Structure 1
C-alpha cells in the first residue's frame, strides 16, 4: 500500500499504521518497546518510524510529540507494529508518548536526525573463521572527506550491484547492501571497495547488539558494603542540594545526557513515575526517555538507573534524580539507532549530539581477537576480528574528529572494560584506546576489607576484571544493585566498569550544570585534581596488572612534588569535584 502524508498548515502531519492485539487486559499499561527509523532511511524530509507497542486496546488513541497532539489516521493491520510518518519541515526531535483512555505510555525520544543504519536479520548473517557472527551483505563505507559522500556511495552501489540503505552523513559514511550471498563474496567485494580512491575505510559488522554486554564474572562484594561511599556519592548530593540552595548566586543550567543502551523497565518502581506526556512541566525534575524493557534488571535499566532511578524504592538510586529539588532539569535519553552493532551505536550518538546531548555514556567496548589479559591468557569477552576492528577504528576516528570540529564541548564517557586487559592499546580494545580530550575512560574498583578512612588509598581496591593502564582517567565503584519488579525489594548486585561509567557521566553532567563553560580538558583536570587515591605508589614505572589508572601527577596537586598522592591511581571523589566546580565560577578566564 502506498502511503501519503496529509498536509495541513501549522499542524504535524502524520500517518499512523497500528496493529492491535485481539484482547488486552484493561489494566495493562501502554509500553513503547522499540522505536527505529524504517522505510527509506535516505529520506530526510519525510521520515518513517517503526514502533513495537504493547498494551493498546481497540478504539481511539492519540500520539503526542513534544507535547503536541499529532494529526493521525488509523488503518487496520496485524501484530503489534506501528508506523509513524512525519513531514520534518519545521519540526524538532523530542519525546513521543501514546495515550488511550487516560493511560499514557513511557516517553521515547524521537530523533529527526538523519543518521541511521540497517540491522541484519537472522538470514543475513553467517559465522566467520573466528567463530563470530558476521553480516553477509551489509557493509558501511567511510568516504574521503573531499568527496560528496552520498554521490560517491551511489556511484559505488551502481558499480558493484549494491544499494545504499543507510547513512551517517556527518561522518561521510554510507551503508551498502551488497549482492553477496556468502562471506567469501562479501570479502571479495570489500577488498575491491577498499581499493577505491574515494573510500577511506570499509566497516563490516560482527555480532549483534544483543551480545554487547561485557561480563564481569568475579564474585560481588559483600551485600552490606556501601560501594558508592568510596566515591562520596551522598556527600556530593548533599553538597549540590545545600550549597546551591544557600548560594543564590549559583545559577544551574539544564544538561542533556545520552545513554547508548537498548531499553529501561518502566514497570519497575525505580522508573514508573517517568511515564506520561509532560515530564518537563516541572522544570527542575529529571526526565527519562527510553524504550521499555521486559525485565527490571537488564543492562540498560541498571546503567540508566545509576543516573535516573527513583530513591527509596528498594532497587537502584539515581545520582541526578537525587538533585531534583534544586537541579536545573536534566534530560536523560536512552536508545540505540538499531541492532546494527557498533555502527548503530555511532549513528545514535551522532543523532543525540545533534539533538543537544552534552554528555554521552558509552558503557560498551570491544577487544580484538587474540588480545590477552594481564596474566597472558586470551580474552574471550566481546572480541572482534582484525578486519572488523580496523573498520571500527576508522569509524570512531571520524566520529571524534567530527566532535572536535563541530561539537568541541561534548564529552564521551567510556567504560574501560572487564577483560583484565589493557584499555589503552588499540590492538586490544576500542573505543577506550582513543586519545582525545573529549573521551573519558573509567575503570572499576570495589570496597576493600580494611577499616580505614574513605580518603585512604586502601579504602578501595581494583576490581579484578577491570581493564587497566595509563589511558584510564579515573576509577569508580563497579558494583551496584539492580532495579526490582516490586517496591522495597533488594536487587541483585551487578558489577562491571559499565556501572562505574555512569557515576562519572552523572558527575560531569552535574558539574556542567553548575559551570557550562567548562571545556573537556578542564573537566578532566577537575576530576583528577579532586580525586582520592587507590593502590600503591609506583613512581610512574610500568606496573603490570596493578596500575589501574594514569598516576596522579604533581601538576594535579598544585605542583607539589612531595604530595603523598603523586604516583597513585585516581579514585573518583564526587563531592570534591563539585566543590572545585563551584570554585571555578570565580576564576578569571
Structure 2
C-alpha cells in the first residue's frame, strides 16, 4: 500500500519538457514503507529517457539491472545498503543531472491535491496528515504506533532523531481533523501536534515579480564579491605560506535547479569534489525559478549565464565544495526539517534556509498586516516546537553545523515569534541575513555607510546578524544572456552561506559563534548618522559593538548596522587558523 501510494504521487507529477535530447532526473524520493529501516527503495522520474540500455550510477557504483525497474520515464530502485551519494543516469553519450540520494531515516509524506482544504483564514492546510512530537522519555515509534491504533490512524512518516512521527488521520473534513488534533494534543506523551499549511507549490520567499526599486549593475560590489574571489584564488595557493584547505558540504533547502541553463551545464553527470564545486539537484523546467537563483549564487558558472556562483569561482584554488539542493518532499516546513536532518547526518556543515513564515496578523514597520507567507496561530505553534526541537538536537549532536536563514521580505520584524519563524530563534547555530541595495550616491567609497541602503521589503531588527546584497540576475537558457533581476533576502542568504563555507574550508575548526564573530568583526556598515541612538526596532541589524571593533568606544562603526564584507571575512578566517578564541 505504501509503495503504491508513493508511486502514484510520483507518477502524477506532470512531465517536464526540456531541451531536445536532454536527459534529466526531475524527481527522486523514498517510496514504499518509509518507516522500515532495512528498506532502500527509491522512486525516480526522469525526462528524456529513450529506449535501450540505461546505466544508473550511484556514487562510484553502477546499479545492476535487477535493482532497476523501469516503466517509461519512471524508475523504481531497490538499493543495497550503503552511504548517501549522488545518483545520475547515463544513456549513450548523454548524462543526467546528479541528484543527492540520502539514506537518512527522516522521511515524510506530502499531501496530494485531494488531501488539502481551505481553513478559516483562507490558507491551504493538510486534511489528514499531521505530525506528533513525542516526549523524549518515550520510545517515539512505539508511542506513535500506540496512539495511531487508539485513534484509528496510521504512522506513515518520521523524523526519528527529533522523535517526530507523521500520522494519517481518519479525517474527512477539517472539523474531524481538528477534533482529533485536540484529543492527540491532550495525550501526556505528546509534546506538540504539527499541522501543515502550505500548498505543494508554495514555500519560496522572493519578493513579488515586479521590482519596485531597480537595483544597479554593481550590487555585489557592496559585499566585495569579486575582491573575495581574487583574494581566495591568490592567497590559498600562495607560494609563501600556502594554506591547506578542507572540502565543505553545503545543504540548500530548495526544490530544484534548471540544468538546461548554461549556468549549470557543466554540472551534468558525475562529479568528483576535488578542486571543483559539485552541484546535486533535481531538474526544473524554469531557469529563473527560486532554486536556480539561490543555488546559482553558490554554484553557477562564473561567466556563462546571468548568475555567478561564488564557490564555483574558487575552483582550482579551493578544496572542492559540494552543494546539495534537497527538500525531502513537498510536505512544507516538516519536509524542510526532515531534509535538513538528513543532510546534517550526511556531513553538511552549512545549511542555507532561504525561507521563513509569518504569523497571521503580523504587522510590518508601517503598522500594516504582512500578507506574504503567513500561517495561522495553530500552525505556527506547531512549527515553533518543531524548530526548537531541531535546534536542540543540532546543539546536542552537531554543534559545529551552522544554519544561514533569510530575514524575510515582509518589511516586518524578524526577532519575535509573534511575527516570524525561524529567524526569531536565539541560538549560536542560526545566522539571520537581511537585504540591502546600492544607494543612489555614486561618488562614495564601497566602505562608506552611504554606499548602500536597506531594501525596503527586508525584515529588520536586533535579531538580524548581517545584511547582504538582496538582488541577483536570474539564469537564462541562452549562453551569455543576463536574466531578469530577482530581489529578496532569499538571495542575500546564499551570499553569506557561500562565504561561510569558504571560511570553513580555510579553517574547519571554526564554530558557529566564531563564524558570527568574524563576520561581524569584518563587516562594513550601513545606515545614516543619528543624533540619538535609534530604537531597537529601527535597527537594520544588531548594532556593531565596541567588542567587535577592538573595544574602541569611539570607532565610527559602533552603533551602526553590519554589512557583509566577503573579502575581509576570508582574511580573518586565514588569521584565525590556530588562534581563534
**Fold conserved between structures, TM > 0.5:** yes
1:273 matched to 2:247? The reply is no
User: Deviation of residue 454 (structure 1)?
Assistant: 0.4
Cα separation, 2, equivalents of 1:67 and 1:534:
48
Contact between 2:275 and 2:320, CA under 8 Å: does it hold in 1? yes
Cα separation, 1, equivalents of 2:371 and 2:401:
32
1:110 matched to 2:101? The reply is yes
Which among 232, 245, 248 is matched to residue 224 of structure 2? 232
Other structure's SS at 2:295 match? helix
User: Deviation of residue 248 (structure 1)?
Assistant: 3.9
Cα separation, 2, equivalents of 1:220 and 1:176:
44
Cα separation, 2, equivalents of 1:206 and 1:25:
31
Contact between 2:449 and 2:524, CA under 8 Å: does it hold in 1? yes
Cα separation, 2, equivalents of 1:35 and 1:549:
39
Structure 2's unaligned 5+ residue stretches are 4-9
CA-to-aligned-CA distance 1:247-292 (integer Å, 9 cap, x gap): 4441100000000000001110000110012x10x61000000001
User: Deviation of residue 543 (structure 1)?
Assistant: 5.3
Cα separation, 2, equivalents of 1:56 and 1:403:
40
Which among 216, 229, 248 is matched to residue 255 of structure 1? 248
1:498 matched to 2:476? The reply is no
Which among 297, 300, 308 is matched to residue 309 of structure 1? 300
Cα separation, 1, equivalents of 2:470 and 2:2:
51
Contact between 1:221 and 1:447, CA under 8 Å: does it hold in 2? no
Go from structure 1 to structure 2 and tell me whether the alpha carbon gap of 1:74 and 1:252 turns closer, same or farther (over 3 Å shift). Answer: closer
Go from structure 1 to structure 2 and tell me whether the alpha carbon gap of 1:341 and 1:197 turns closer, same or farther (over 3 Å shift). Answer: same
Aligned equivalent of 1:141: 132
Aligned equivalent of 1:11: none
| TM-score, normalization by structure 2 | 0.95
Aligned residues: 569
User: Deviation of residue 214 (structure 1)?
Assistant: 2.6
CA-to-aligned-CA distance 1:384-403 (integer Å, 9 cap, x gap): 00000000000000000000
Which among 43, 50, 60 is matched to residue 57 of structure 1? 50
Cα separation, 1, equivalents of 2:191 and 2:517:
35
User: Deviation of residue 245 (structure 1)?
Assistant: 1.6
Aligned equivalent of 1:467: 459
Contact between 1:225 and 1:447, CA under 8 Å: does it hold in 2? no
Aligned equivalent of 1:577: 569
Which among 169, 184, 201 is matched to residue 192 of structure 2? 201
Cα separation, 1, equivalents of 2:30 and 2:407:
31
Other structure's SS at 1:435 match? coil
CA-to-aligned-CA distance 1:170-228 (integer Å, 9 cap, x gap): 00000000001111101000001111111000000001241112342463654652000
1:153 matched to 2:140? The reply is no
Superposition pairs of residues 502-517 of structure 1, within 5 angstroms: 502-517=494-509
Other structure's SS at 1:242 match? helix
Contact between 1:18 and 1:75, CA under 8 Å: does it hold in 2? no
1:485 matched to 2:471? The reply is no
Contact between 1:108 and 1:289, CA under 8 Å: does it hold in 2? yes
Which among 160, 165, 169 is matched to residue 156 of structure 2? 165
Cα separation, 1, equivalents of 2:541 and 2:435:
10
Contact between 2:197 and 2:332, CA under 8 Å: does it hold in 1? yes
Aligned equivalent of 1:29: 22
Cα separation, 1, equivalents of 2:559 and 2:445:
20
Aligned equivalent of 2:175: 184
User: Deviation of residue 586 (structure 1)?
Assistant: 4.7
Structure 1's unaligned 5+ residue stretches are 4-16
| TM-score, normalization by structure 1 | 0.93
Aligned equivalent of 2:321: 330
User: Deviation of residue 86 (structure 1)?
Assistant: 1.7
Superposition pairs of residues 398-547 of structure 1, within 5 angstroms: 398-450=389-441, 451-537=443-529, 541-542=534-535, 544=537, 546-547=538-539
1:72 matched to 2:42? The reply is no
1:47 matched to 2:27? The reply is no
Go from structure 1 to structure 2 and tell me whether the alpha carbon gap of 1:27 and 1:541 turns closer, same or farther (over 3 Å shift). Answer: closer
Aligned equivalent of 1:567: 559
Cα separation, 2, equivalents of 1:26 and 1:468:
42
Aligned equivalent of 2:7: none
Go from structure 1 to structure 2 and tell me whether the alpha carbon gap of 1:130 and 1:552 turns closer, same or farther (over 3 Å shift). Answer: same
CA-to-aligned-CA distance 1:498-543 (integer Å, 9 cap, x gap): 0000000000000000000001110000000000000035565415
Contact between 1:259 and 1:360, CA under 8 Å: does it hold in 2? yes
